[in-house]
């Protein structure tokens, strides 16, 4: 007899009768309006008097906004588990993370058989359910990256592709009655969902015992299994028996179910609107209050995140998990948690952090940073997770992930003033600005995060016409190493504002950016593919044409040893001018393929929302700037591709508006070059790649920190040529003297002996 300490929730169980199909929908909406948390429907797909529960759930999800939804419980034998998993994940995605999966092994076998389903004994039903849970969880886990295979007795799955991943960690609740199924609930499920009318109190206690024992035997904590219960009753002014009377009586009678039997979700079987209203207005809040008072008296806590002994064993040295502030516990992800795989890696790099903190509000970041500073492990900051140089994951350390701070607000459509959270993705930003006729050039990929790019530069598809992204940042709010949050702009903290635009990763966690977006019509884009026979010549020709082109033209070239692709954008809807600017490009080599057209800018960088898989052997990437494509640079790049030392070459035009800004106006000082050249190599020894680039660099001029994996100290001087570096060192000493933010081109402390940066 125990209280498992879960937060309370309250729901309804509504008959999915088809006689007046909208009745069930209206009762579901009323459930939400009455402040309840959950709406559920029984699922009897052989019952002609009922609507199909899955269809009803989908319809209700579309008609509501906050209430969670579940079958109570879904009939497994008539719903193949792999399809069920996808349907559940889809509904969870469409409803914004509001779906939970109540599941049952099946009953009414004759009716199931009549519908073409299997007939199973009770034992077979439990076995099938266990197999199904395994399949469902595997389908929900595309981060695992493996095809789903199961050679079960009831289900055989071979090579099913996992996904989609649900929007949240969907709970699996089992409608268990008999000991074997209760045992399965303890071993594998997230909740037990019995119906009180069919159980005696002694049955409930015995059920809890079996679940607890099975959970512990499986290496779990019994508190990992939520106890939900379907209840029945009527409201009246006098006590007419158990749950038949005034709301106060209900509260008194349900209280022991929480404190002595561990139930925390109460689902009222009801089709009567007034009862739903009373339940929401009078029973739920009063029972919550009574439970809170009792728990206070007993000195126990509510809503603690519970981890199994197995999960706790995966905690990493150097992090004192027990002192993590309560405000950060919900949403904190550890190595043993189900959501870990989703957050441990970044776009290129596999990671294994000991703790990922993902606050929902900027105000929580202060606690996260203070906690992280106390721990003896590396600290990484992550926004979109596309960092190349920046280590936004680590091994055994802490990641502060600001991905949930992803607001995109148009503050003033007239002036183009916008406010962006660091976790927003540039593809989403482009789509949100488009209806206002606004745009902001970022990069060539819609999934890149605002935080990493807007602190470093932003070499995007409109860069020659409109400059870098940082050139349009007018203010930023930043949490500093000492825990204070300041606003930096030309008027306030102007030096910090200077540093944030180019070396922002060194000074704190930017929690919001304000930028001035610009008006943009549709643009002309052209996508051309060429044979790369004489690549050196192709590069030189392309470079010369781009340099001479009007600044409306921005052109990005990527090349492998075999072919080159040129993606160009003419930042205007003047198609004649665009044709004039683009046509010369067709002469740089033999054309394999080409297409061009008018398109909204947002269509060029769509968000993909792909999972970050990363690799334990990420590619090597290096870059440098060049003013012109000289024959020697072109030849070196071509021979690097041919020899395989750089397997992919990526060249972005800069210049134009970028070079209108003075080199000392921001910490990004590269204001006279016309090209950024980067190459990427997989499986090439560091020594060879660095050797190749060391030689190439003697012909190059500067470096963009966002495209660099070479961590040797010299790169810092390339990225921040003097006097930029000295100015940054002074600011680093002022704003981050303890070098807390040291994972991305960390500016070293001043070594006064040599007056040279002491290298990190
Ligand atoms: C596929 C791909 C395409 C790209 N294309 C372009 C391009 O066309 N043009 C271009 O300019 N860049 C491009 N980049 C580089 C990209 O801009 C940088 O890697 C950028 O840092 C990614 O930002 P993020 O928020 O997604 O990264 P994250 O991995 O989240 O962060 C990278 C680093 O930035 C710092 N950082 C992140 N958030 C904050 C914050 N809120 N406050 C302070 N510091 C922070 C941290 O040091 C972190 O390690 C591309 C990268 C990839 C992977």
Digit-coded pLDDT (tens) for 524-577: 999 999 999 999 999 999 999 999 999 999 999 999 989 999 999 999 999 999
Looking at the chain, the whole-number percentage of residues with pLDDT higher than 70 is: 98
The correct answer on CATH 1.10.760.10 for the domain covering 309-401 is no
Query: Looking at the predicted structure, is the pLDDT value of residue 180 above 70?
Result: yes
CA of 390 to the centre of ligand 1 (A): 7
Mean pLDDT of all residues belonging to the chain: 95
For the domain made up of 523-719, the CATH class stated in words is alpha beta
Q: How confident is the model at residue 270 (pLDDT cuts 50, 70, 90)?
A: very high
CA of 389 to the centre of ligand 1 (A): 8
Q: Which two tokens stand for residue 690?
A: 């660095």
pLDDT at 748: 86
β-pairing, 509-516 vs 563-570, is: unpaired
pLDDT at 751: 53
What is the full DSSP assignment across 32-68? HHTT-SEEEE---TT-TTB--HHHHHHHHHHH-SS-E
Question: What mean pLDDT is predicted for residues 326-352?
Answer: 91
Contact 303, 6 (CB under 8 A): yes
451 pocket-lining for ligand 1 (C-beta < 6 Å): yes
Cis peptide before 239 (omega within 30 of 0): no
Instruction: Tell how far CA 213 is from the center of its chain.
Output: 36
CA of 651 to the centre of ligand 1 (A): 17
Q: Where are the domains of the chain?
A: 9-298, 309-401, 523-719
pLDDT at 2: 86
Give the whole-angstrom CA distance, residue 239 versus residue 237. Answer: 7
648-653, strands of its sheet edge to edge: 591-599, 523-531, 563-570, 553-559, 648-653, 675-681, 620-626
Give the whole-angstrom CA distance, residue 547 versus residue 584. Answer: 12
CA of 567 to the centre of ligand 1 (A): 21
The region of weakest confidence among 25-39, 57-71, 292-306, 480-494 is: 292-306
* Cα–Cα distance list, 479 to 238, 366, 369, 379, 676 (Å): 58, 7, 9, 14, 31
Largest CA distance in the chain: 95
pLDDT at 750: 61
Q: Which atom belonging to ligand 1 lies closest to the Cα atom of 469?
A: 11
CA of 538 to the centre of ligand 1 (A): 30
pLDDT at 494: 98
Spatial neighbors of 361 by CB under 8 A, at least 6 apart, are 405
Q: Give, using CA atoms, the residue closest to atom 51 of ligand 1.
A: 386
pLDDT at 142: 83
| Best probe residue, ligand 1, of 383, 442, 705 (max atoms within 8 Å of C-beta) | 383
- Tokens 């012109």: give the residue: 628
Contact 546, 677 (CB under 8 A): no
381 pocket-lining for ligand 1 (C-beta < 6 Å): yes
CA of 504 to the centre of ligand 1 (A): 11
Q: Which atom belonging to ligand 1 lies closest to the Cα atom of 403?
A: 30
Q: Give, using CA atoms, the residue closest to atom 52 of ligand 1.
A: 386
Spatial neighbors of 451 by CB under 8 A, at least 6 apart, are 381, 382, 383, 384, 402, 422, 423, 510
Spatial neighbors of 146 by CB under 8 A, at least 6 apart, are 138, 162
The region of weakest confidence among 294-303, 397-406, 707-716 is: 294-303
Q: How confident is the model at residue 50 (pLDDT cuts 50, 70, 90)?
A: very high
Count CA atoms closer than 13 A to 153's CA, side-chain side. 10
pLDDT at 316: 97
Could you tell me the end-to-end alpha-carbon distance of the chain, in angstroms, rounded to an integer? 56
Question: What mean pLDDT is predicted for residues 15-32?
Answer: 97
- Helix, strand or coil, per DSSP, at residue 489: strand
Contact 172, 76 (CB under 8 A): no
Q: Where are the alpha helices (DSSP H) in 77-233?
A: 81-94, 109-114, 122-139, 179-188, 201-217
Q: Give, using CA atoms, the residue closest to atom 49 of ligand 1.
A: 390
Looking at the chain, the whole-number percentage of residues with pLDDT higher than 90 is: 92
393 pocket-lining for ligand 1 (C-beta < 6 Å): no
CA of 706 to the centre of ligand 1 (A): 6
The region of weakest confidence among 145-154, 206-215, 583-592 is: 145-154
Spatial neighbors of 670 by CB under 8 A, at least 6 apart, are 625, 654, 658, 663, 701, 702, 704
Q: How confident is the model at residue 302 (pLDDT cuts 50, 70, 90)?
A: confident
CA of 558 to the centre of ligand 1 (A): 19
Q: How confident is the model at residue 30 (pLDDT cuts 50, 70, 90)?
A: very high
Neighbouring-strand partners of residue 514:
419, 475
CA of 470 to the centre of ligand 1 (A): 13
386 pocket-lining for ligand 1 (C-beta < 6 Å): yes
444 pocket-lining for ligand 1 (C-beta < 6 Å): yes
> Rg (Cα) of the chain, in Å, rounded?
30
398-401, strands of its sheet edge to edge: 355-357, 398-401, 379-382
Query: Looking at the predicted structure, is the pLDDT value of residue 756 above 50?
Result: no
CA of 503 to the centre of ligand 1 (A): 12
β-pairing, 355-357 vs 379-382, is: unpaired
* Cα–Cα distance list, 140 to 77, 175, 193 (Å): 20, 21, 22
Query: Looking at the predicted structure, is the pLDDT value of residue 110 above 70?
Result: yes
Question: What mean pLDDT is predicted for residues 165-182?
Answer: 95
Query: Looking at the predicted structure, is the pLDDT value of residue 513 above 70?
Result: yes
Q: Kindly state the DSSP code that residue 626 receives in the 8-state scheme.
A: E
CA of 675 to the centre of ligand 1 (A): 19
504 pocket-lining for ligand 1 (C-beta < 6 Å): yes
Looking at 3.40.1550.10, 3.20.20.30, 1.20.1600.10, 3.40.50.300, the CATH number of the domain 9-298 comes to 3.20.20.30
- Tokens 């070098």: give the residue: 739
What is the full DSSP assignment across 254-267? HHHHHHTT-EEEEE
Instruction: Look at residues 512, 485, 482 and name the one whose alpha carbon lies nearest to residue 370.
Output: 482
Query: Looking at the predicted structure, is the pLDDT value of residue 150 above 80?
Result: yes
Q: Give, using CA atoms, the residue closest to atom 36 of ligand 1.
A: 452
pLDDT at 1: 61
Q: How many residues does the chain have?
A: 760
Give the whole-angstrom CA distance, residue 261 versus residue 257. Answer: 5
Instruction: Look at residues 407, 406, 468 and name the one whose alpha carbon lies nearest to residue 704.
Output: 468
pTM above 0.85, yes or no: yes
**Residues 202, 205, 211, 213, CA torsion sign:** negative
In terms of average pLDDT, the best of 145-159, 266-280, 319-333 is 266-280
Give the whole-angstrom CA distance, residue 351 versus residue 338. Answer: 16
Contact 654, 670 (CB under 8 A): yes
pLDDT at 590: 96
Q: Which atom belonging to ligand 1 lies closest to the Cα atom of 382?
A: 30
Question: What mean pLDDT is predicted for residues 282-291?
Answer: 98
Instruction: Tell how far CA 662 is from the center of its chain.
Output: 37
Q: Give, using CA atoms, the residue closest to atom 39 of ligand 1.
A: 451
Question: What mean pLDDT is predicted for residues 201-230?
Answer: 96
Q: How confident is the model at residue 754 (pLDDT cuts 50, 70, 90)?
A: very low
Question: What mean pLDDT is predicted for residues 440-444?
Answer: 95
Q: Give, using CA atoms, the residue closest to atom 53 of ligand 1.
A: 386
Q: Which atom belonging to ligand 1 lies closest to the Cα atom of 444?
A: 8
β-pairing, 263-269 vs 74-75, is: unpaired
Query: Looking at the predicted structure, is the pLDDT value of residue 755 above 80?
Result: no
pLDDT at 760: 40
445 pocket-lining for ligand 1 (C-beta < 6 Å): yes
Question: What mean pLDDT is predicted for residues 480-501?
Answer: 98
């Amino acid at each position: 007899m125990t209280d498992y300490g879960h937060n309370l929730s309250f729901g309804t169980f509504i008959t999915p009768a088809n006689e007046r199909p909208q009745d069930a929908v209206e009762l579901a909406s009323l459930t939400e309006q009455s402040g309840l948390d959950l709406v559920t429907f029984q699922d009897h797909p052989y019952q002609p008097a009922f609507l199909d529960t899955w269809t009803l759930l989908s319809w209700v999800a579309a008609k509501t906004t906050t209430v969670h939804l579940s079958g109570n419980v879904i009939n497994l034998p008539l719903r193949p588990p792999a399809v069920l998993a996808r349907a559940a994940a889809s509904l969870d995605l469409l409803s914004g993370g509001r779906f939970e999966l109540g599941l049952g092994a099946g009953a009414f076998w004759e009716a199931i058989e009549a519908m073409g389903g299997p007939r199973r004994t009770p034992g077979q039903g439990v076995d099938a359910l266990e197999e199904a849970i395994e399949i469902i969880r595997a389908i929900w886990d595309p981060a695992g990256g493996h095809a789903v295979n199961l050679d079960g007795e009831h289900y055989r799955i071979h090579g099913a592709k996992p996904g989609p991943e649900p929007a949240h960690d969907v709970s699996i609740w089992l409608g268990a009655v008999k000991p074997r199924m209760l045992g399965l609930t303890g071993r594998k499920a997230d909740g037990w969902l019995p119906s009180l009318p069919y159980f005696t109190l002694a049955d409930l206690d015995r059920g809890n015992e079996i679940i607890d024992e099975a959970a512990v035997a499986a290496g779990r904590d019994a508190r990992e299994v939520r106890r939900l219960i379907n209840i029945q009753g009527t409201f009246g002014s006098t006590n007419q028996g158990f749950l038949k009377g005034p709301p106060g009586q209900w509260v008194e009678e349900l209280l022991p179910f929480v404190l002595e039997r561990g139930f925390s979700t109460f689902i009222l079987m009801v089709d009567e609107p007034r009862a739903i209203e009373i339940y929401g207005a009078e029973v739920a809040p009063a029972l919550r209050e009574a439970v809170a008072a009792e728990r206070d008296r007993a000195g126990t806590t509510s809503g603690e995140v519970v981890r199994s002994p197995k999960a706790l064993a995966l905690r990493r040295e150097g992090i004192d998990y027990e002192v993590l502030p309560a405000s950060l516990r919900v949403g904190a992800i550890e190595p043993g948690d189900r959501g870990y795989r989703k957050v441990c890696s970044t776009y290129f790099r596999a990671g294994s952090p000991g703790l990922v903190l993902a606050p929902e509000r900027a105000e929580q970041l202060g606690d996260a940073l203070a906690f992280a500073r106390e721990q003896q492990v590396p600290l990484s900051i992550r926004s979109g997770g596309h960092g190349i140089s920046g280590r936004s994951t680590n091994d055994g350390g802490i990641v502060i992930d600001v991905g949930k701070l992803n607001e995109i607000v148009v503050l003033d459509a007239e002036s183009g003033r916008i406010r962006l959270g660091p976790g927003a993705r540039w593809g989403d930003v482009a789509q949100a600005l488009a209806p206002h006729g606004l745009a902001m050039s970022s990069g060539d990929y819609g999934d890149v995060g605002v935080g990493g790019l807007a602190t470093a530069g932003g070499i995007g598809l409109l860069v020659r016409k409109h400059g870098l992204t940082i050139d349009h940042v007018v203010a930023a709010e930043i949490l500093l190493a000492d825990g204070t949050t300041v606003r930096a702009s030309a008027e306030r903290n102007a030096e910090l504002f200077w540093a944030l635009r180019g070396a922002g990763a060194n000074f704190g966690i930017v929690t919001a950016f304000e930028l001035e977006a610009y008006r943009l019509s549709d643009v002309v884009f052209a996508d051309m593919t060429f044979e790369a026979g004489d690549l050196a010549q192709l590069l030189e020709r392309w470079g010369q044409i781009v340099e001479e082109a009007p600044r409306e033209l921005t052109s990005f070239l990527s090349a492998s040893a075999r072919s080159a692709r040129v993606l160009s954008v003419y930042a205007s809807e003047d198609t004649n001018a665009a044709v004039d600017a683009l046509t010369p490009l067709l002469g740089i080599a033999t054309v394999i393929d080409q297409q061009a057209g008018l398109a909204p800018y947002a269509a060029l960088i769509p968000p993909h929302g792909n999972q970050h898989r990363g690799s334990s052997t990420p590619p090597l990437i290096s870059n440098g700037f060049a003013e012109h494509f000289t024959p020697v640079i072109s030849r070196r790049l071509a021979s690097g591709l041919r020899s395989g030392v750089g397997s992919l070459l990526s060249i972005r035009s800069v210049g134009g508006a970028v070079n209108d800004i003075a080199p000392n106006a921001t910490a990004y000082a590269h204001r006279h070059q016309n090209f950024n050249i980067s190459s990427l190599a997989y499986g090439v020894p560091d020594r060879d790649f660095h050797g190749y680039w060391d030689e190439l660099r003697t012909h190059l001029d500067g470096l963009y920190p966002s495209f660099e994996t070479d961590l040797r100290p010299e790169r810092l001087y390339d990225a921040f040529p003097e006097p930029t570096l000295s100015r940054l060192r002074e600011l680093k000493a002022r704003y981050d003297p303890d070098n807390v933010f040291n994972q991305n081109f960390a500016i070293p402390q001043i070594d006064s002996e040599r007056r040279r940066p002491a290298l990190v």
